[in-house]
Amino acid sequence: MTDLTDLGVAAIRDGVRDGTFSAREIATAFNEKVAKAKALNAFLVETPEHALAAADAADKAKASGDLKPLSGVPIGMKDLFCTEGVQTTAASKMLEGFKPTYESTVSGKLFDAGAGMLGKLNMDQFAMGSSNETSAFGNVISPWRRNDGGNAPLAPGGSSGGSSAAIAARLCPGATGTDTGGSIRQPAAFTGISGIKPTYGRCSRWGVIAFASSLDQAGPMARDVRDCAILLEAMSGFDPKDSTSLDIAVPKWEAGLSSNLKGKRVGIPKEYRVDGMPAEIDALWTQGVEWLKDAGAEIVEVSLPHTKYALPAYYIIAPAEASSNLARYDGVRYGLRDLPDGANLQDMYAATRAAGFGPEVKRRIMIGTYVLSAGFYDAYYTQAQKVRTLISRDFDKAWESCDLLLAPTAPSAAFALGEKSADPIAMYLNDVFTVPSSLAGLPAMSVPGGLDGQGLPLGLQIIGKALDEQTVLNAGLAIEERAGFTARPEAWW
């Protein structure tokens, strides 16, 4: 008999529907896997009872013929999503013990669609990081290891590193992620799974702990493209509680899946060929071009001339918004409060925020505070917003000659934990290919393309026009079918 935890979202949904297995069997199998995988540190909170309750509801629904789109599917929830009655911390000491009295719109939609929750997934603190090393509760360790026998613990990517590691290790068939500058795509690439950041405004931000409001966007992570399409359909939709939510219908992405790309033009952005990029990544990119050609697409070279300014602009805009978004963590109403003897209000703020935020969060708050300060605002924030507009225009111009873009997801395979944590700039460079589409609010996806020489997964990124997730998913499917990526980490945990 196959291991039930090897099944993906679609397979579980269909199996429960067809009576191949019960939802309870599925939930039990994943609960056991989660409980045994502590070494990965992917889960901050395990909620086996939640998964079981949803499973029982699914089995009942099966009996009464009331199955919902995700009945029987247990998922992991990034700890950035507020979950009613379940601790939600954004992996920060600041919110340790915080149990929301409310359910985020996205998690609520998933539960309404029948999904159960296996637990809350570890992440970079307040979604700030690319390696999971900024979590206040210890970093996630990637289930992957290099084939050099060295067993160096590797980064699962970030910030959605708990999600990527858990899926790659078959602890859950799918999970939520959030992407501000690449936080779904880069960890997906590092762990050999798929993940899509939809168009900004597709998924409600209500109840998602904010990092950078104009960039934050939730999306699914799963083992293949179809599973991403299924989860994204359940997560998307207009929410009147989020002013930036898009008031448009959610397409039937799963039904629309097709790997035939005839008539589609794929742009290859020449500025994404950066110095020092490993040859294996370049080779995979070339391979990806061939796969898409094979799927019927026409290939064109395009230019996104302002690409090199994207990263600096991002590291002004995102920290600026974060410095303001995180001001609410002040020790007054909830979360951590550090009130030294004889402290006044200012002392309490200082002590609470010093104790509650990790170093990367503090760094970004300080950068953000600086760039918004009187006298610096125009030089930094205003300039960065102009760059953002130019980057959007770059994409608009590219769409005149193509329908989607193909690029690598990250400039390297997973690096070892500790390798970049002392050098913030090196860490920020990880986002170089993912940030431009975030700034433009475009849908973008990472799918696994192959392994590098060290046996580590590499991802290919597809960027689409606003609201055209379907083409992005379809191109992802075309690559998936041709890459035949079946590699998986060997269980050592």
Partner 1 sequence: MSSYRIQGATGEWEVVIGLEVHAQITSNAKLFSGASTAFGAEPNAQVSLVDAAMPGMLPVPNRECIRQAVRTGMAIDAQINRWSRFDRKNYFYADLPQGYQISQLYHPLVGEGHIEIEPAEGETKTVGIERIHVEQDAGKLMHDQHPTRSYVDLNRSGVALMEIVSRPDMRSPAEAGAYIRKLRSILRYVGSCDGNMEEGSMRADVNVSVRRPGEPFGTRTETKNVNSVRFVMAAIEHEASRQVDVIEGGGKIVQETRLFDPDKGETRSMRSKEDAHDYRYFPDPDLLPLELDDVFLAECRDSLPELPDAKRARYQDGLGLSAYNAAVLTADVETARWFESLLSECSDKVAPKAAANWVISDLFGALNRLGKDIGDSPVTPAQGAELLGLVADGTLSGTLAKQVFEIMLETGNDPAKIVEEKGLKQTSDTGAIEEVIAKVLAANPGQLEQYRGGKEALFGFFVGQTMKAMGGKANPAVVNELLKKALG
Where do contacts with partner 1 occur on this chain (CB under 8 A)? 81-82, 88, 90, 95, 98, 100-102, 104, 205-210, 212-214, 240-244, 320-321, 323-324, 326-328, 330, 332-334, 345-346, 349, 369, 372-374, 377, 381
CA distance 309 to 304: 11
Q: How many Cα neighbours within 13 Å face the side chain of 45? A: 24
Distance in Å, CB of 431 to partner 1, minimum: 19
Residues whose CB falls within 8 Å of the CB of residue 205, separated by 6 or more in sequence, listed in order? 213, 216, 217, 218, 242, 244, 245
Tell me the sheet residues that pair with 72.
none
Distance in Å, CB of 41 to partner 1, minimum: 23
Q: Could you list the active site residues? A: 78, 159, 183
Distance in Å, CB of 442 to partner 1, minimum: 17
The values of phi and psi at residue 230, to 5°, are -65, -50
CA distance 407 to 398: 14
Residues whose CB falls within 8 Å of the CB of residue 424, separated by 6 or more in sequence, listed in order? 360, 363
Q: How many Cα neighbours within 13 Å face the side chain of 135? A: 31
CB 182 within 8 A of CB 212: no
CB 394 within 8 A of CB 307: yes
Distance in Å, CB of 205 to partner 1, minimum: 6
Tell me the sheet residues that pair with 116.
74
Q: Which is nearer to partner 1, 330 or 452 (CB)?
A: 330
Q: Which is nearer to partner 1, 21 or 334 (CB)?
A: 334
Residue 161, both tokens: 């590193």
Q: Strand, coil or helix: what is 312?
A: helix
Q: Which is nearer to partner 1, 262 or 333 (CB)?
A: 333
Tell me the sheet residues that pair with 196.
445
CA distance 468 to 198: 9
Q: Where are the alpha helices (DSSP H) in 37-131?
A: 48-64, 105-112
Q: Which is nearer to partner 1, 376 or 492 (CB)?
A: 376
- One-letter amino acid for residue 137 of the chain: F
Q: Which is nearer to partner 1, 64 or 243 (CB)?
A: 243
Q: Which is nearer to partner 1, 23 or 322 (CB)?
A: 322
Q: Which is nearer to partner 1, 330 or 480 (CB)?
A: 330
Residue 13, both tokens: 């949904």
Residues whose CB falls within 8 Å of the CB of residue 393, separated by 6 or more in sequence, listed in order? none
The values of phi and psi at residue 463, to 5°, are -115, 135
Instruction: Give the orientation angle of helix 469-483 with respect to helix 225-235, to 10 degrees.
Output: 160
